[in-house]
Amino acid sequence: MSTTITVRLSDDLAAWLEDLASATGVSRGHIVRDLLEHARAAAPAQRRYLRHAGAIKGARDLSERRGFSAS
């Protein structure tokens, strides 16, 4: 099963995509699919730090610590 979507691109981005497709001999759709797959695979790794959200204790504002404030 496949799904077709329509995406509006800026002229600059459309030109880049067309140039890349011409230079590599790969279809624009294939390039977009590959980039989307890459983004999907990278997304969980980029958000690993979120598991620590709210779990680390300390001063809410580090500038409140003595020796580190501007005053």
DSSP secondary structure of 42-61: HHHHHTGGGGGTTT--S-SS
What integer pLDDT is reported at residue 1 of this predicted model? 65
Instruction: Write down the pTM of the prediction.
Output: 0.59
For residue 5, is pLDDT > 70?
A: yes
What integer pLDDT is reported at residue 4 of this predicted model? 92
Structurally, the chain folds into a number of domains equal to 1
What mean pLDDT comes out for the span 9-29? Answer: 96
Tell me if 3 is assigned to some domain: no
Residue 26 belongs to domain spanning = 9-49
Tell me if 23 is assigned to some domain: yes
Output the average pLDDT for the chain. 82
For residue 27, is pLDDT > 90?
A: yes
Do the beta carbons of residue 55 and residue 40 sit within 8 Å?
no
Please tell me the distance from the alpha carbon of residue 70 to that of residue 29, in angstroms, as a whole number: 53
Tell me if 65 is assigned to some domain: no
